[in-house]
Amino acid sequence: MTDIVLITHSDRPIQVVVIFRDMDRIGLLSEILSQHPNDAFARYGLAMEYSKAGEVERSLAEFNQLLSAHPDYTAGYFMAAQTLVQAGRSEEAKKMLAKGIASAQQTGNDHARAEMEALQTELG
């Protein structure tokens, strides 16, 4: 369900603010993906929402689908690795980081590469 807040002045609306609850974002992103299954941004967003909700397996499934279709979506590797770390799955996170570092090198994304290398070092 979406909350819509109307701010009025002299009985005329002057601003509309729409606030989505967490499950609404998941529903919205799922709806977008049902119509556009290759939408990388929506797939990434859905994976992130599941991760925030603590639904690790669903999050990882979305990250895996994203990275299978878009192997150059470097942020997906990093956030999937962070999700794995939060779930106590450091060895899997290290493998994901290795793939992400390779992707970052191929795409020239030095910032993402450096962030992933830092996490990789932290994990040992």
What pLDDT sits at residue 32? 87
**Contact of 74 with 112, CB cutoff 8 Å:** yes
What pLDDT sits at residue 9? 47
**Contact of 81 with 93, CB cutoff 8 Å:** yes
What pLDDT sits at residue 16? 43
Mean pLDDT, the chain cut into blocks of 10 residues (124 residues total): 45 47 76 90 94 96 97 96 97 97 96 96 94
Domains of the chain: 22-123 (1.25.40.10)
What pLDDT sits at residue 12? 52
